[in-house]
Chain A
Amino acid sequence: MVDTSEFVLQALVKIKEGCINCHVKSGIIDNISGTIFLVQKIRNHGAPKTIGFFGAQKRGKSSLINQLLRCDLMPVGMIPMSSVVVKVKHEQAHDPKQFTIDVIDANGSIETHVVEDLSLAQMLLTQYGSHKGSMSNMIDTINVTSNFSDSEILENEGILVDTPGAEIAFDSNHATETNASDAQRAIKILSSTHNVIFVERADLMQGVNSKEFFSEHLKPMRPLSVINWKDAYNLDERHNITDPQLLEKKKQSCMREIMLKTYGVNLDRTLCVSSKEAAKARKNDDKELLTRSNVPELERRILAELRNLNPKIGLETCLRELQKTLMQLDTETAKQVFLQAQRPFYVMLVMIKNSGMDNTNIAKIAREIYEQYC
């Protein structure tokens, strides 16, 4: 397949510049930034595909990861647990009963532990990577490798990354030396993340606010926003709904509305889930509850995001998103912002034509955009 990603990237950057110059709504610019982020990751598709979970402390990031792993690897509890970055990856040749845990300290030294069962792995993670343990201050990252063939995401080369509440690191009101190094580390994690999952808690959405962190650092990275513990959200008493399905729908729509108002998230990319319900469903083998928990839907969305990193699929997604974004602008403005992107689009179309891929969806969408706004 001919690689047109550099021209898609050039076009998107020019369109974003055009949007800024034409003072279009910030939400539209954010959408283009998100699409640019996707192309950047597509261009780097050979690298390990990391899925980073970000959010304030006690948002249930670790418990959500456990549900996606389908095992209780990450320590969860009443006090904030994660204090270091934990990366979990799958290795087909690995013994499924064993866990290889690489503990990397701040100086880059690695200490490798191979443990024989899950409870020992969890114990080590608690010791090295949580506030409960005594050694977390000295640790930078923990890599956990095993045969996680139950997890579709990991089987598809995804690496799940649990991050400690990163917004604290960016809080300028509480700037300390430790914060500065935490911020550096958080930026490093962000820059290497392919898919950003922003986790908020249903009953704390308007509480501790990570708004600044979200809009400054996560929003341009096309995040998938997750409202965890949806079961903990209670509707206002004035909503007198008795039908459980209707009630669930109403609850989810209210939660999403609060997320929109608080963070300005993209509603298409916001999901209400419950890791608690998923855990209960798995324990009791309750398929209905599992579906209701929306964790399988989150898994499906993450898998779709991973597929998007494949240039063949991802570039089509980028062009579709661009087409959708340009349609939100009035024709005159759209033509104006598209002006400087004509050349990369033209080159892309010629390259597609020369490679005999004229009948593909990418060619079709690119042609439609070019003809409409040129």
Chain B
Amino acid sequence: MSNTVENYLFLGLPKSGKTTYFSLMAQYLQNVANRTRHLKFLYLPTTIVNNETGEEVSDEITSDFIDDCISRIKKQKWPRKTLDYESGYSFELVKFLTFLKKPILQKYFYKKAVIAYHDYPGEAFEAAFGVGEDPTQEIRMAAEDMKSRIKNANGLFLILDADALFNGQDNRKHQITLTRLFRCIKETNPDIKLAIIFNKLELFGGNELDFIRVIRDDYSNAFAYLPYNHKFFYIYPLGSVFTADDGATFPPKKLSPKNMLKPIKWMIGF
């Protein structure tokens, strides 16, 4: 173990369930870190630029954001919509070298992982990977920001909405976005670790489908460009969903997450 800092990126098309997963995972990791001495969890401040004055300020928006998300989920409500991509959310996880279960030489031997989440608008994906037509200046900037983060990241958590994949909803958009994203990775950062996460599996009532086959069969172009260092994950951040009388689904009264930490364990190797 050496004192390294690695950057990981949380990415997914809008409404793929990133916020719910990110906030529940952060809370879970924080709880784990609170119980162990060799792991440290820290929310990172976000730099916010005042558009009028150009002044940069640091603000602890991530912890407030996660608290709000968790509180809403506990009240059986979905998290609020995230801020724009520039105000990203991030946390840091540090693992120290241990001897007899105690951390030693903390200054010199640690491994730090920074996990950042930026909610890019759907059009930014199209612009970044060349699908959409005539993106605005703002979207073009978001697309460039996304591409540069991918280029510099050690790993990428790609969240996919299993419901949308199954229904074939936005099929073409998924097909093109995934293909171009994988191609972009191959060209700019071929060694990146890619965790492809099938989310919203709760909607399948515990009847898991072979989504790897769906990707292979229905998104064959994308599949062909898959970076070599990838792994598929099936996650259930909520465990189940509650269907209200109007047919809408909400978080359940009692959460029973499954497989939630598998992607991050594989990704950062803690």
A contact set with B: CB distance below 8 Å: 6-7, 9-10, 12-14, 36, 40, 43-44, 339-343, 346-347, 350-351, 354
Contacts and interface: CB of A to CB of B under 8 A. Distances in A.
A350 B166 CA distance: 14
A9 B169 contact: no
A277 B163 CA distance: 56
Contact of B248 (A7, A13, A341, A346): A13
B167 A343 contact: yes
Given A13-B248, A351-B207, A342 B243 contact: no
Interface residues of B, number: 16
Contacts of B249: 10
Given A341-B167, A346-B166, A346-B207, 20 more contacts: A6-B243, A10-B243, A10-B247, A10-B249, A12-B247, A13-B246, A339-B167, A339-B168, A340-B169, A342-B166, A342-B168, A343-B163, A343-B167, A343-B204, A346-B209, A347-B203, A347-B204, A347-B205, A351-B205, A351-B207
Interface string B151-175: 0000000000001001111000000
Contacts of B163: 343
Contacts of B207: 346-347, 350-351, 354
15 contacts: A9-B247, A10-B243, A13-B246, A40-B245, A339-B168, A339-B169, A340-B167, A340-B169, A342-B167, A342-B168, A343-B204, A346-B204, A346-B207, A347-B205, A351-B205
Contact of B247 (A36, A339, A343, A347): A36
Main secondary structure of the interface of B (DSSP, over half): loop
Contacts of B166: 342-343, 346
B167 A13 contact: no
A343 B169 CA distance: 11
Contacts of B243: 6, 9-10
Contacts of A340: 167, 169
Contacts of A354: 207
Which 6 residue pairs spanning A and B have beta carbons closest together?
A: A13-B247, A6-B243, A350-B207, A9-B247, A342-B167, A343-B166
A13 B244 CA distance: 11
Nearest to A39: B247
Contacts of A43: 245
Nearest to B209: A346
Interface string B228-255: 0000000000000001011111000000
Centre residue among B166, B203, B243 by max chain A CB count within 10 A: B243
A44 B207 CA distance: 25
A74 B243 CA distance: 40
Interface in B170-211: 203-205, 207, 209
Nearest to A13: B247
Nearest to A341: B167
Nearest to A349: B207
A157 to B, nearest CB: 21
A339 B170 CA distance: 10
Q: Which of B245, B248, B249 has the most CB of A within 10 A?
A: B245
Contacts of B248: 13
In the complex, which of the residues A36, A343, A346 has the most CB atoms of chain B within 10 Å of its own CB atom? A343
Contacts of A44: 245
A118 B246 CA distance: 42
Contacts of A346: 166, 204, 207, 209
A342 B171 CA distance: 14
A371 to B, nearest CB: 15
Interface in B116-147: none
A332 to B, nearest CB: 15
Contacts of A341: 167
Contacts of B203: 343, 347
A347 B207 CA distance: 7
A136 B248 CA distance: 40
Contacts of A10: 243, 247, 249
Contacts of A351: 205, 207
